[in-house]
Amino acid sequence: MKAPAISEVNQRNGVRWNTSKAFLRPVLHRTNLTVLTGAEVETLTLDGRRVTGLRLRHQGRLKSASATREVVLSAGAVNSPKLLELSGIGRPDVLAALGIPVRHALAGVGENLQDHLQIRTVFKIRNALTLNTRYHNLFSRAAMGAEYALRRTGPLSMAPSQLGIFAKSHPGLETPDLEYHVQPLSTDRLGEPLHKFDAVTVSVCNLRPDSRGSIHMETPETSAPPKIRPNYLSAETDRQIAARSIQHARQLMQTRAIARFQPQEHLPGPQFTSEADSAHKAGDIATTIFHPVGTCKMGADDMAVVDASLKVHGITGLRVVDASIMPTIVSGNTNSPVIMIAEKAAALMLREMKRA
């Protein structure tokens, strides 16, 4: 019998360990590094089809920065296409609607948006305490806070999901296409108060969705957010897998190991049994788990934005280094893969500098 796998998390001493702590803070003392916080990039500056720097707003003042070698755009799958469009790089029809002159036509900018949609099924349980009741008990809540403050241990030191599972929506698949995040707490919707009864959330998402969305600016105002159209469950295959995911979660909660907790389905509700009803309810109880990718995808086809070196097609002096360059979404969480993309980009740039 195999031992259970240990799930690795980006955490140290009960505190989330992020890339700023791991990569940036150790080198802040370097004289060739300047970090500006509270700054917002408005546009890239170009000389013909060469990016020469950028324009930004910092502490209410408009400033500019120039680049002798190149600019690395790492604004994420949402804001990297935004900045390209504000700089005149993108779909000509989108830029024309914004009144922005086309500096370079690239049809794929802002297209190919993919994300993991997490379906949050909830089951009431008995014979066990969950964070629902621990949170609503004043003494228990104080004890959790004290434990974390004094020892950096306990529920406040843990990742929200205490159990992860990879599974197949169909036995004929070669590799799993479903990922579960099971949490000892529950709400009707994320951001709302925890339920006052003991329950667990059995979240499941389709790791390889076929649905595609887009992210585009709808105004040339640099401070405006782009319009995000995720188009979740627009593909029939995704609706079918969503229905199977709910059924699969129900089967997990009916296993012999779970029987002593007497699970009762709360969301979406046991009355929704048909594939059509389950797919519809999936849209009601699902939410993003913040894995947007693909809006400046890497490749050589007509919709590709960057090449294998992450350089923007048809533009010199500019690379995109973030989740937007993924042609297709990875079959799992995106944090570590994005760090790998950044490390690969750094290696490419160092190699090119040595050749120069």
- Tell me the one-letter amino acid at 305: V
Q: Reply yes or no: is the peptide bond before residue 193 cis, omega within 30 of 0.
A: no
Looking at residue 155, the DSSP 8-state letter turns out to be: G
Q: Given CA atoms 339, 340, 345, 351 in this order, what sign does their dihedral have?
A: positive
Please return the burial class of 81, using the count of CB atoms within 10 Å of its CB with bins 0-12, 13-18 and 19+: buried
Rounded-to-integer distance, Cα 167 and Cα 179, Å: 6
Contacts of 355 (CB under 8 A, 6+ apart): none
Contacts of 204 (CB under 8 A, 6+ apart): 118, 119, 121, 178, 179, 180, 181, 245, 246, 248, 249
The total number of residues written for the chain in this structure: 356
Instruction: At 267, list the tokens.
Output: 């969301």
Are 242 and 278 contacting, i.e. CB atoms less than 8 angstroms apart? yes
Instruction: At 323, list the tokens.
Output: 């989740």
Q: Which residues pair with 121 in a beta bridge?
A: 202
Instruction: At 261, list the tokens.
Output: 């907790």
Look at residue 279 and give its three-state secondary structure. helix
Active-site residue (options: 170, 248, 291, 313)? 291
291 is annotated as an active-site residue:
yes
Supply the residues annotated as catalytic. 291
